[in-house]
Amino acid sequence: MKKNYDVIIAGGGLAGLTAAIHLSQHFKVLVIDPDTYPRHKMCGEYLSMEVDSYLKSLGIHINDLSQVTINNFRFTRGSQSIKTATLPLGGIGVSRYSLDLELYNKAKEKTDFLLDRISDITLNHNHYEVITTDQKLTARQVIIATGKRSLLDKKLARPFIQKKSPWLAVKMHYKFKMPNDIVELHAFKGGYAGLSKIENGNVNLCYLVNYESFKEYKDINAFNKEVLTQNIALKEFFKVAVPIWEKPITISQISFEQKQPVEGKLLMIGDTAGLIHPLCGNGMAMAIHSAQIASKYVTQYLQDEITRDQMLIKYSKSWRKTFSSRLLYGRWLQKVLLHKKLTTLSYWFLERLPFLLPIIIKKTHGKEIQP
Ligand SMILES: Cc1cc2nc3c(=O)[nH]c(=O)nc-3n(C[C@H](O)[C@H](O)[C@H](O)COP(=O)(O)OP(=O)(O)OC[C@H]3O[C@@H](n4cnc5c(N)ncnc54)[C@H](O)[C@@H]3O)c2cc1C
């Protein structure tokens, strides 16, 4: 393995792998990640179709990965009536196990990979120094794609990491009969759960919950039994659904605090730049799209068309223009969904003005990304 690269990418999730495939067409790229592939990851596994054309241009065909085409949305709360809507662009139900592996296989055709964890990154004159557990490497440009929360955020003293976050998430695959073409969102006390199919016919249950609501119960099984089943749709689900894994995947301290796409001359993509509330089902598309935007400006910089400072400003502006309003709507929607009176009021409105639901969904998604 070389010691000097044009680009080093910290983190090989969706954002990091997409940037690697894009940039390795012209540059020497290294991705550093402590995990091997394939792997299950916390995610609702609903991928918005807005990324389809761009991924195709990179040689990734999501329709070959999954036939689960999702065009409908269903929302329930407690025992209240159900709301349904057609999704503006629709999406694909695909597991992170398959999707990340597909991107990894494509990326490794031209990208180097290092199985390691980055502990620090510094800018020295015109190159970055990247410190891992075992090595010291250099690159003309570094892209940070380490996801929602990483030890690197602590090392870089990013403001969001100083605050405690009350959110935790649980994910499990089940055998359960449900239509292919629907993604469901079921609200319960302190949180909400997404249900949709993935490529092998199994159903992914993934939920986000406030720790305050969770801590009264001794474990996930008790919480599922006592709280999730208060929702009528989830009650029906748990009656017959058969878990595939022995234990669910869990993560805690999920932060929705505002972040910056550029901090201290470091360029961030994916969840590292900003995490949209999961109920929007747009985080994966945003991770992929932010990788495309970053790749465009990093290419201009590496080809000496713009300076590093110009590149960072252009990326930052473009990121904000593309994602800021989506993040804002996501924040607002989550507040409404978890507030008893506001949800009741919203239900009342949606009952009378059902055409509003697709409009609201559209606000949390983007248009189809052009390659
Ligand atoms: C509960 C929940 C449900 C969701 N559901 C959906 C959904 O249905 N649809 C959707 O579109 N989005 C959803 N999302 C959002 C989506 O999962 C994320 O937006 C997406 O995974 C972001 O990809 P990423 O590449 O930024 O981060 P990740 O995929 O998390 O990748 C980060 C990578 O960085 C690596 N890493 C971490 N630290 C270091 C380090 N120090 N050095 C090197 N590597 C490091 C990690 O190992 C990891 O591989 C959901 C999120 C949550 C929390």
Rounded to an integer, the average pLDDT of 143-163 is: 95
CA of 283 to the centre of ligand 1 (A): 8
Residue 190: inside a domain, yes or no?
no
Instruction: Report H helices in the chain.
Output: 14-23, 52-57, 62-65, 96-107, 151-155, 211-214, 220-226, 232-240, 283-302, 308-337, 340-352, 356-363
Total number of domains constituting the chain:
1
Residue 213: inside a domain, yes or no?
no
Residue to mutate (ligand 1; options 31, 43, 150, 277; most atoms within 8 A of CB): 43
Q: How confident is the model at residue 347 (pLDDT cuts 50, 70, 90)?
A: low
Cα 27 vs. chain centroid, distance in angstroms? 26
Indicate whether 143 pLDDT > 70: yes
CA of 32 to the centre of ligand 1 (A): 15
Residue nearest (by alpha carbon) to ligand 1 atom 30: 147
Greatest distance between any 2 Cα atoms in the chain: 63
CA of 335 to the centre of ligand 1 (A): 22
CA of 353 to the centre of ligand 1 (A): 35
Residue 169: inside a domain, yes or no?
no
Q: For ligand 1, say whether the CB of 278 is within 6 Å of any of its atoms.
A: yes
CA of 18 to the centre of ligand 1 (A): 13
In this structure, the dihedral spanned by the alpha carbons of residues 146, 148, 150 and 152, taken in order and rounded to 10 degrees, is 60
Nearest Cα to Cα of residue 185 among 276, 268, 263, 84: 84
- Measured from the Cα of 17, ligand 1's closest atom is 25
Nearest Cα to Cα of residue 137 among 308, 8, 277: 8
What is the residue range of 159's domain? Answer: 4-163+255-363
Residue 175: inside a domain, yes or no?
no
Instruction: State the Cα–Cα distance between residues 254 and 277, nearest whole angstrom.
Output: 10
CA of 91 to the centre of ligand 1 (A): 18
Q: For ligand 1, say whether the CB of 366 is within 6 Å of any of its atoms.
A: no
Residue 21: inside a domain, yes or no?
yes
- What amino acid occupies position 296? K
Q: How many CB atoms lie within 10 A of CB 228?
A: 24
Residue 29: inside a domain, yes or no?
yes
Rounded to an integer, the average pLDDT of 255-283 is: 93
Q: For ligand 1, say whether the CB of 267 is within 6 Å of any of its atoms.
A: no
282: CATH = 3.50.50.60
Among 59-68, 71-80, 177-186, 258-267, the minimum mean pLDDT is found in 71-80
**pLDDT, position 3:** 80
Q: Which two tokens stand for residue 1?
A: 């393995």
Q: For ligand 1, say whether the CB of 172 is within 6 Å of any of its atoms.
A: no
Residue 239: inside a domain, yes or no?
no
Q: For ligand 1, say whether the CB of 146 is within 6 Å of any of its atoms.
A: yes
CA of 16 to the centre of ligand 1 (A): 10
Indicate whether 249 pLDDT > 80: yes
Residue 332: inside a domain, yes or no?
yes
3-state secondary structure at position 174: strand
Instruction: State the Cα–Cα distance between residues 258 and 241, nearest whole angstrom.
Output: 37
Residue-wise pLDDT tens digits, 74-96: 888 877 656 778 888 899 999 99
Indicate whether 343 pLDDT > 70: no
**pLDDT, position 344:** 67
Among 2-6, 119-123, 254-258, the minimum mean pLDDT is found in 2-6
Q: For ligand 1, say whether the CB of 270 is within 6 Å of any of its atoms.
A: yes
Rounded to an integer, the average pLDDT of 24-30 is: 98
